[in-house]
């Protein structure tokens, strides 16, 4: 399986964790903008959309951090 980036050898583990989490958040933010453009016409579903975006943000950050940690442990 191909990775988006290689392991950072000289970086501190806290910096790697922060960068992986930030990558997940930026990915979530870009997806949110794209989805919100398509869902802008559905005003009654806005509360569910907002709730799903908050949950998606949390999951993306955690998944990026866990994926980065797993990558670093197995390389």
pLDDT tens per residue across span 38-49: 777 667 677 777
CB atoms within 10 A of CB 60: 20
Average pLDDT over residues 7-21: 79
- pLDDT value, residue 42: 66
Helix (H) or strand (E) holding 12: none
Tell which residue, 31, 6, 14, 17, has the closest CA to residue 63.
17
How far is residue 25's CA from residue 12's CA, in Å, rounded to a whole number? 20
Task: Give the residue, 39 or 69, on which the prediction is more confident.
Answer: 69
Tell which residue, 53, 29, 27, 49, has the closest CA to residue 40.
49
Q: pLDDT > 90: what percent of the chain?
A: 0
Confirm if 6 and 68 have CB atoms less than 8 A apart: no
- pLDDT value, residue 4: 62
């Amino acid at each position: 399986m191909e990775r988006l980036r290689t392991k950072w050898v000289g970086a501190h583990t806290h910096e790697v964790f922060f960068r992986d989490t930030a990558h997940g958040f930026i990915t979530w933010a870009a997806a949110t903008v794209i989805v919100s453009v398509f869902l802008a016409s559905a005003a009654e579903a806005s509360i569910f959309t907002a709730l799903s975006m908050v949950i998606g943000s949390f999951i993306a950050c955690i998944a990026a951090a866990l994926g980065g940690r797993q990558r670093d442990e197995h390389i």
